[in-house]
Structure 1
Amino acid sequence: MYLRPFLLNVFFSNRFIHAKVMHRGTSKVVSVASTNAKDLRNTLPSLVDDDACRTVGRLIAERSKEADVYAMAYDLRKGERIEGKLGIVIDTIKENGIIFVD
């Protein structure tokens, strides 16, 4: 548990995508990206498509690195698999230099 202090949380609604990275011990939010944010809402053609997933993943990776976070974990919920939109977000974060630990 102490080897995975930073946890990725991704939420998908019908209208937007929201992701944040938190420190497990202190619950301090390290980075946040949402297609509901004013800067993205006005520039993305769709707030829930694959392109939006890639944008959120890239922003989370950049903002996490700015906060000196280079590794994080994602805890699967019951019955959840890393595929589809969640897979795109996580793959984009990995492509931008963040390591995922189990």
Structure 2
Amino acid sequence: MATKTESLRRRALRIRRSVKKVANGRPRLSVHRSSKHIYAQIIDDSVGRTLAAASSLDPKLKGDLKTGADVEAATAVGKLVAERAKEAGISDVVFDRGAFIYHGRVKAVAEGAREGGLNF
């Protein structure tokens, strides 16, 4: 029987594989959440480079947030990564939730990014 980390890794790779199939050249917005923080980055898989990134540890956000582990922080991270993507000239992305369920903080990052102007 697979351990929990192996199962999470397999699920993340399965999701990532399906996301890359439908990407059509668009970069992916990858989300990772831990128990204390949330991270988002926009990755161009054709060259393997991060184009924009934001997290609840970012100096722009850290002072304004009560904690990095709530929906408000996730929404702020989504808006910040969308702002940085706009500066880099990116408007269309594909959403990669990794091994996480599209619910709660992961959903809040997506909604924040949409409010910030990203299309996916």
User: TM-score, normalization: structure 1?
Assistant: 0.85
Q: Which aligned runs of 4 or more in structure 1 are off by greater than 6 angstroms?
A: none
Conserved? CA contact 1:23–1:30, under 8 Å: yes
Per residue, is there more strand in 1 or in 2?
1
Paired letter, 2:108: I
Conserved? CA contact 2:32–2:98, under 8 Å: no
In structure 1, list runs of 5 or more residues that go unmatched: none
Equivalent position of 1:27 in the other structure:
48
**Is 1:58 aligned to residue 87 of structure 2?**
no
CA distance in 1, matches of 2:76, 2:50: 19
In structure 2, list runs of 5 or more residues that go unmatched: 1-20
Aligned length: 99
User: TM-score, normalization: structure 2?
Assistant: 0.73
The structure having more radius of gyration, on CA atoms, is 2
Equivalent position of 1:97 in the other structure:
117
Paired letter, 2:114: K
Shift of 1:77: 4.3
Pairing 1:8-27 to 2, within 5 Å after superposition: 8-27=29-48
CA distance in 1, matches of 2:89, 2:95: 18
Equivalent position of 2:63 in the other structure:
42
**Is 1:84 aligned to residue 104 of structure 2?**
yes
Deviations 1:27-76 (CA, angstroms, capped at 9, x unpaired)? 11111101122342233111111110111000011000100000000235
- SS state at 1:71 partner: coil
Per residue, is there more helix in 1 or in 2?
2
Paired letter, 1:23: D
Q: Percent identity?
A: 26
